Amino acid sequence: MRDKLKIVRYLNALAEANERALARLFDPNNVPDRVVQWLLDAGVVTPAHVRPVYNAWVVSDDASNKVRLWRKLAEALPEKAEQVRAAAARVYAFSEVVVSTNDAVQHIETVFRNWSIEQWYELRDAMCLPIRLESIAGTDKQKFIFVSHDPTRIELITLLDDLGIEDFELRYTPEAVVTYLCDQLEPIVRESKWHRPPDVEESDVATPKSIKAA
């Protein structure tokens, strides 16, 4: 029994030593994550916020699997998650946009027929929706402006590419705004009276690539 107790004490001491070593490795002035470093420098989070998340992250599979430290920080600090995502968008050069929800809903209604209901549901599930068209300087074309609360996700680019959009830009807006727009999509789908007549050719239906500035 005494031998087992000694082993337990030894293992506990070893674990504490490892934790102390990890704490010494954490340097708030040299964090291996640009977003977390920005948050620390801006005073949005403190070293006390980051240290336990970093210590858990650095010894986990997340670090080796390239899960960003800032994502683990957002999970650990739900009250600061929006600020963390906004910082990530800023660091990775995604513009922030103030959304007029009424105008955005009207835009979704206007371009609703451009994609299938299944594609709209994919956008909703990804929390990424179009809010307006903007002219492209020096051309007669327009680009779709999409918003997401987490625009840094690689899968969003793949999703938008699959829609067949020639020109688009992805921007950041808070989660509450995106959630509201996603909630408005179901009534649009349900109330839509649009049905393509069987004799209408595909080329006669407006598509994102065919839309140009007036």
For residue 178, pLDDT over 90 is answered with yes
Pairing of strands 128-135, 142-148: antiparallel
If pLDDT is split at 50, 70 and 90, which confidence band does 212 have?
very low
Using CA atoms, how far apart are residues 177 and 125, in angstroms rounded to an integer?
15
Q: Which two tokens stand for residue 139?
A: 């051309």
Specify the range with the lowest mean pLDDT, choosing from 121-135, 148-162, 178-192.
Answer: 178-192
Using CA atoms, how far apart are residues 134 and 150, in angstroms rounded to an integer?
21
79-101 average pLDDT score: 97
Mean pLDDT of the chain: 84
If pLDDT is split at 50, 70 and 90, which confidence band does 177 have?
very high
Q: What's the one-letter identity of residue 88?
A: A
Claim to verify: residue 196 and residue 149 sit in the same structural domain: yes
For the full predicted model, state whether its pTM sits above 0.85: no
141-148 average pLDDT score: 97
Residue predicted with more confidence, 197 or 133: 133
Claim to verify: residue 63 and residue 163 sit in the same structural domain: no
What are residue 172's DSSP bridge partners? Answer: 96, 148
Residue predicted with more confidence, 170 or 60: 170
CA-to-CA dists, residue 170 to 21, 80, 130, angstroms: 41, 22, 9
What are residue 143's DSSP bridge partners? Answer: 134
For residue 84, pLDDT over 70 is answered with yes
Where a domain ends, among 91, 109, 137?
A: 91
Query: Is 62 within a domain?
Result: yes
Count Cα neighbours of 136 within 13 Å in the Cβ-side half-sphere: 13
Query: Is 96 within a domain?
Result: no
125-136 average pLDDT score: 97
Where a domain ends, among 91, 113, 131?
A: 91
Share of the chain above pLDDT 90, in %: 67
For residue 144, pLDDT over 50 is answered with yes
Q: What is the pLDDT of residues 91-107, one digit of tens each?
A: 999 999 999 999 999 99
Query: Is 181 within a domain?
Result: yes
Tell me if residue 168 falls in helix, strand or coil: strand
Question: What range does the domain containing 19 cover?
Answer: 2-91
Using CA atoms, how far apart are residues 137 and 119, in angstroms rounded to an integer?
29
User: Structurally, how many domains does the chain consist of?
Assistant: 2
Claim to verify: residue 85 and residue 133 sit in the same structural domain: no
Q: What is the pLDDT of residues 13-70, one digit of tens each?
A: 555 555 544 545 889 999 999 999 999 999 999 999 999 999 999 888 776 678 999 9
For residue 196, pLDDT over 70 is answered with no
For residue 160, pLDDT over 60 is answered with yes
